[in-house]
Amino acid sequence: MLYCPKCKALCDDSAVRCPECGRHKLRQPTQLDKVLLVTVTEMEAQRLEPVMQASGIPFEMHASNIDGIPSMYNSDAILSNQSFYVLLPQLEEAEKVVAQFRQQEAEQAKAAAENAPEEEEMPRGKRIAVQIVSALAFILLIWLVVMGTDWVANHLFGWLRGA
């Protein structure tokens, strides 16, 4: 296994360059190297962080360079990715914690989907009737806006001519 000191990713022994960042200078990892455990979305990181803390495995979490700046600095509130790093000797144990976390997330999502009330599909005839009524209401609304604008313009021009 080779280590990229730039992005802290582990690579295959046959790798010529890092698959994450493209760096050519790969080396053998040491026991003190922090390695990339996982990169997740900011929202998923908020749920994973307490799980990692509860596991007792020391870790670091940093905004990933992949998707730019963290959302707290971005006025558009676009979420950035978060990367979790652990020491090499604890990587295997940390990977198990992440796998269990993802399995629990999947089970919770499945349970939520099963418990969610099923939406009844509207019968085709009723759906078509609603669409027709909606289209007619929209046309009526446009007609009212045009007529109202025309009325206001006529009165305004009449007032201006009389003045």
DSSP string, 37-74: EEEEEHHHHHHHHHHHHHHT--EEEEE-SSS-S-GGG-
Does residue 128 sit in the same domain as residue 109? no
Q: Is residue 10 part of a domain?
A: no
Q: What's residue 66's pLDDT?
A: 47
Q: What is residue 125's three-state secondary structure?
A: helix
Does residue 83 sit in the same domain as residue 148? no
Report yes or no: 25 and 36 within 8 Å, Cβ to Cβ: no
Q: Is residue 7 part of a domain?
A: no
Does residue 111 sit in the same domain as residue 141? no
16-65 per-position pLDDT tens digit = 888 878 888 888 888 988 999 998 888 888 999 999 999 999 999 888 75
Q: Is residue 39 part of a domain?
A: yes
Give dist(CA 107, CA 97) in Å, integer: 15
Angle value at C-alpha 27, between 55 and 84, nearest 5 degrees: 25
Q: Is residue 9 part of a domain?
A: no
User: Does 15 have pLDDT greater than 90?
Assistant: no
Does residue 76 sit in the same domain as residue 144? no
Q: What is residue 107's three-state secondary structure?
A: helix
Q: Is residue 5 part of a domain?
A: no
60-92 per-position pLDDT tens digit = 988 875 444 444 555 445 567 888 999 999 999
Q: Is residue 3 part of a domain?
A: no
Q: What's residue 73's pLDDT?
A: 54
Q: What is residue 21's three-state secondary structure?
A: coil
Q: Which domain holds residue 137?
A: 123-163
100-155 per-position pLDDT tens digit = 999 999 999 898 888 877 778 889 999 999 999 999 999 999 999 999 999 999 99
Q: Is residue 77 part of a domain?
A: yes
Q: Is residue 151 part of a domain?
A: yes
